[in-house]
Structure 1
Amino acid sequence: MHPRPTLRGVHAPVLVTFVASLALVLAGCGGSAIDPKTAARANNLGLTSGNGQQVTSVNGPVSSNGPVVSDGATNGPSGSSTGGPGGPSGQGTSGPGAPAAPGGASCAGFKNSKGITNDTLRIGNSSDISGPVPGLFTAAQQATAAYVNYFNSTGGRICGRKLQLDLYDSHTDAGGDQIAYAKGCESDFAMVGSMSAFDSGGAKTAESCGIPDIRAISTTVERGTCKTCFSAQPAGPDAFQNAVPDFIKRRTGGKNAAMLYINVGASAANGKSQAQHMAKRGMHYVVNQGIDITDFNYSPYVQQMKEKNVQSVQFIASSAQFVRLAQAMVSLDFHPKVVMLDPSAYNSDFTGPGGSAVVGTYVFMNFVPFEEASRNPEITLYERYLQQVAPGAKPTFFGLFAWSSTRLFVQQAVKLGGKLNRASLIASMRGVDNWTSNGAHAPQHVGSKKIGDCWRFIQWNGKAWVPVEGRAYHCDGLTY
């Protein structure tokens, strides 16, 4: 039995998607509300295995199963190839005659530094691979490796250097995160695409050594305030997007709302704070109720909502608990106008076991649903190269933002050209705003670290997730 990690410092209302679920996963040894096999299925066919902190190193085209796309493969959508083929960029540590980086600044004056040789530029990724839920954020490493594969195999170069990726396991533990970042500080130019439930551990280490840390998503206050750390999806201050309560109000007027949450750590904090924020936006909650993690009988909560004529239900929990509530609602013939869940319900572990009981559920999200990949070249590109590094793996929310953060790193590095070093990259990141990774997700305020206010909605019809109120994002501001 391992010591239970602390949830101190987890962003409260913003990152419901994963923090609340992690609160359930890590609530105690043997007390997880999520079967470890669930995460393993979601992140099937990981890149690596083995013990120790550093998992593996990826240089050039990568795969967990044989060769992959060769040089000369078709590039992605217009504007997606941020590096492009580049000639040799000087044989020394600098060179005034170095060629310009395609799409970027001149490489004149480029100097090798930590993690950079004449041929390669090393980046690291530290994500939760082992721990209470094996493979929790394997998707983040798969997606980072997928972008490295895409960049290298299509001739991409940063002033003549290919990317080399070092993979680290943060073990779903703050201490593991700190150890990984200590190694990354010594070996890599930057850390990219990382995702860890307890990422506070490496925050001080990253800032102290000055390594740029361009994460998929940050999960703790400590990481959010780290001066060298940024995220493709920032966490930001204590705020919540207005698009969600506005959507509900269009259907119920905001009357007789219910907020349920599993009464553990971040889940409880999220439930209370979200209800407070949305009440300021015009929602009227008649039920704001925590459910004990050991409670498997949801009928009393459903009966309470039925007696109070609840018109909309929100629930912060895991997929298994979403299903349990839905089934209890059906058994008690309770049918509110709106059941609204966060993006963690956007998976087959909710729709499969839920069956007819979950039909009609709404989900809010800030990225293009994977069902719409044919309409979005960037999503298609992510899915294509994901199969090159992890055949059979499914695209995920976490993976998409890891892909996005890797593209962002490359874009900024290429733009700096010969001026690229750790300090200049960090300074450049501070100016990034409205980042969408070629339209794969809603605009993100990376440099200012403020959460985005643009969200859209989908609904499960029993066979597929379908868009509601169109495919456009609703950018309705934030409530603090």
Structure 2
Amino acid sequence: MRKKTLVTVTAALALLATACGSGERGGAGGGIGAPAPAGAASGPSNAACSGTTLKSTDIGITADKITIEMIGDTGSTAIPGLANGAVEAVKAWADMLNKQGGLACRKVEVRTYDSKLSPDEARNGYVDACQKTFAAVGTTALSVADVTPLTDCVDKNGAKTGLPEVPGLTILPVHTCNPTSFPMYGSGVPCPVAAGARDVEVPKAVGSFMKQQLGGGAQHGLYLVPTTAAAYSQAVISQIRNLEQTYGLAADIEAGANGKDPQSAYTPAATTMRDKKSTFGYNASTWPSFLLLQKEAAVQGATPKMWYCVGACYDPAYTKAGGKVTAGTYVQISNIPYEEAGQNPEIKEFTTRVKEVNTFAQSAWVSARLFQQAVEDTVKASGPNGLTRASLLKALAAVKDFDNRGMVSKSTPSAKLPAECIVIVQAQDGGGFKRIHPQQPGTMRCEGFDKINIDVATAFKG
């Protein structure tokens, strides 16, 4: 399996959602609509298509084609190629379905729009999608700040139905809370959007694992927060504050990480870790930024008991670039590890069809599968000519406990909650990752949510 380097932003990992019970949960679970084996999809051979004269039922739907738009940050000069894997994943999903017969008795066509890490371009992408496509699928735009093109989008009949969106990720609450967007995982900030301190739900599993692994006594360390854009820090700060306040993992330093920073920019953070004898280094930023910190820490003689990184580091490029420096780093993910593809057919499908396998690609793939399920549910209820933007929004709102055939933790997208369930893998000397927690293959650790009162817009103090 060939995997290319991708700079992955942790804010994208406003990860998994919805209660899946406490303790370990097995990987088996809900599928993609019909009870078909992994990889199967409905198409023209489906009974629903026989004898049906297909029609153009809405913008982006003709008698033979469904057109969707994939909006992604691929051309930014700050972080080039950020969403390349996500774009590839949506195209690979569409190609797979088309070879199997299509979706709703039609072929799927994917348009792409480069949002360039720009709020204006993200908005322009939504305008383009509203005018030319049926829905936005797999959106990997990290600077969405204006969702009015989604809410104000009119359908074929001129009604302000809204543009259905199944994004690969959402960052700011204004995007997460948009009523026509159905992200797999939200930030835990309650909707509707409001200024000031709010009660935010944060997964317990992260803090309990770190506390258990670090052991007793006073634990203190560094928190690395992404600052390439203000929205990034807002997306991760709730988890950091919860680790401090609920689990006693105090901050020696809270450092910002800009994607353009050289290694020397991390000297103050590394020397602080050394001087204060920090017991952990927690990364909520990109893996390249984190790796520069780890390298500088080695130069300065900082030796924490634990290096911990959210899913951004679950990328073969990270261990390849870092070598021995990355060995032993704990990485938090919210899916069955790719290394267990032999045990999970959907992981195998994804890793076989997508070359640039990383967190963004996976999120986009899962969102495409969620879109697929909602379409199939609509066709099952109303036939292939019953598919409209309005009926799709209704179907998306009705999806519960979606886990993409056990690939990820269960999610009810309309709830817009963060990830409850996690898996911890560890970077290995020589490359690759090994499952650490929970130890049983095919399982995830689910412990419910803590609640913390916080103003995400002002909480970062770095």
Residue 379 (structure 2) pairs with residue 407 (structure 1): no
What is the CA deviation profile of residues 261-320 of structure 1, one whole-angstrom value per residue up to 9, with x for unaligned ones? 257334554675433212343223051322575571645534433444432221333333
User: Equivalences for 1:420-459 in 2 at 5 Å?
Assistant: 420-459=387-426
| 2:257 and 2:289 in contact (8 A); partners too | no
| 1:261 and 1:271 in contact (8 A); partners too | no
Which piece of structure 1 moves more, 421-430 or 165-174? 165-174
Which piece of structure 1 moves more, 269-278 or 364-373? 269-278
Q: Which of 428, 439, 461 in structure 2 is aligned with 1:461?
A: 428
Q: State the secondary structure of the residue aligned to 1:320.
A: helix
Q: What's 1:129 paired with?
A: 74
Residue 84 (structure 2) pairs with residue 138 (structure 1): yes
Q: Which of 176, 194, 215 in structure 2 is aligned with 1:224?
A: 176
Residue 54 (structure 2) pairs with residue 86 (structure 1): no
What is the CA deviation profile of residues 334-373 of structure 1, one whole-angstrom value per residue up to 9, with x for unaligned ones? 4332211111122244323322222111010102222222
The CA distance in 2 between the partners of 1:412 and 1:398, in whole Å, is: 21
Please tell me the residue identity of whatever aligns with 1:197.
L
Higher relative contact order (Cα pairs below 8 Å, separated by 6+ residues): 2
The CA distance in 1 between the partners of 2:138 and 2:234, in whole Å, is: 27
User: Equivalences for 1:81-480 in 2 at 5 Å?
Assistant: 81-86=40-45, 99-100=47-48, 112-132=57-77, 133-158=79-104, 160-201=105-146, 203-209=147-153, 210-237=162-189, 238-253=200-215, 255-262=218-225, 264=227, 265-266=230-231, 268-269=233-234, 273-291=238-256, 296=264, 298-386=266-354, 393-417=355-379, 418=383, 419-463=386-430, 464-469=432-437, 470=439, 471=441, 472-480=443-451
Structure 1 residues 328 and 116: CA distance shift in structure 2, 3 A: closer
What is the CA deviation profile of residues 407-451 of structure 1, one whole-angstrom value per residue up to 9, with x for unaligned ones? 111211121122322112112211223221112222223121111
| 1:242 and 1:453 in contact (8 A); partners too | yes
| 2:223 and 2:240 in contact (8 A); partners too | no
| 2:55 and 2:63 in contact (8 A); partners too | no
Structure 1 residues 338 and 204: CA distance shift in structure 2, 3 A: same
Structure 1 residue 148 displacement after superposition? 0.8
Please tell me the residue identity of whatever aligns with 1:80.
G
| 1:343 and 1:363 in contact (8 A); partners too | yes
| 1:267 and 1:316 in contact (8 A); partners too | no
Q: What's 2:195 paired with?
A: none
Please tell me the residue identity of whatever aligns with 2:290.
F
The CA distance in 2 between the partners of 1:239 and 1:369, in whole Å, is: 25
Provide the alpha-carbon RMSD of the alignment.
3.0
Structure 1 residue 328 displacement after superposition? 3.5
Structure 1 residues 381 and 425: CA distance shift in structure 2, 3 A: same
Structure 1 residues 252 and 214: CA distance shift in structure 2, 3 A: same
Identity %: 23
Please tell me the residue identity of whatever aligns with 1:476.
E
Structure 1 residues 245 and 122: CA distance shift in structure 2, 3 A: same
| 1:192 and 1:213 in contact (8 A); partners too | yes
Structure 1 residues 131 and 83: CA distance shift in structure 2, 3 A: same
Q: State the secondary structure of the residue aligned to 1:233.
A: coil
Structure 1 residues 303 and 112: CA distance shift in structure 2, 3 A: closer
| 2:282 and 2:308 in contact (8 A); partners too | yes
Q: TM-score normalised to the size of structure 2?
A: 0.76
What is the CA deviation profile of residues 87-113 of structure 1, one whole-angstrom value per residue up to 9, with x for unaligned ones? 6xxxxxxxxxxx5269xxx97997622
The CA distance in 2 between the partners of 1:323 and 1:263, in whole Å, is: 13
Structure 1 residues 262 and 382: CA distance shift in structure 2, 3 A: closer
Structure 1 residues 129 and 321: CA distance shift in structure 2, 3 A: closer
| 1:445 and 1:452 in contact (8 A); partners too | no
| 1:83 and 1:410 in contact (8 A); partners too | no
What is the CA deviation profile of residues 370-425 of structure 1, one whole-angstrom value per residue up to 9, with x for unaligned ones? 22222221122123333xxxxxx321211112111111112111211223221121
Structure 1 residues 465 and 122: CA distance shift in structure 2, 3 A: same
The CA distance in 1 between the partners of 2:137 and 2:256, in whole Å, is: 37
The CA distance in 1 between the partners of 2:58 and 2:225, in whole Å, is: 48
Structure 1 residue 199 displacement after superposition? 2.0
Q: What's 1:54 paired with?
A: none
Please tell me the residue identity of whatever aligns with 1:408.
L
Structure 1 residue runs of 5 or longer lacking an equivalent are 1-14, 21-75, 88-98, 387-392
Please tell me the residue identity of whatever aligns with 1:100.
A
The CA distance in 2 between the partners of 1:140 and 1:261, in whole Å, is: 25
| 1:260 and 1:289 in contact (8 A); partners too | yes
| 1:275 and 1:288 in contact (8 A); partners too | no
Structure 1 residues 284 and 415: CA distance shift in structure 2, 3 A: closer
Aligned residues: 390
Please tell me the residue identity of whatever aligns with 1:248.
M
What is the CA deviation profile of residues 453-477 of structure 1, one whole-angstrom value per residue up to 9, with x for unaligned ones? 0011000121221000314211112
Structure 2 residue runs of 5 or longer lacking an equivalent are 1-7, 14-34, 154-161, 190-199, 452-462
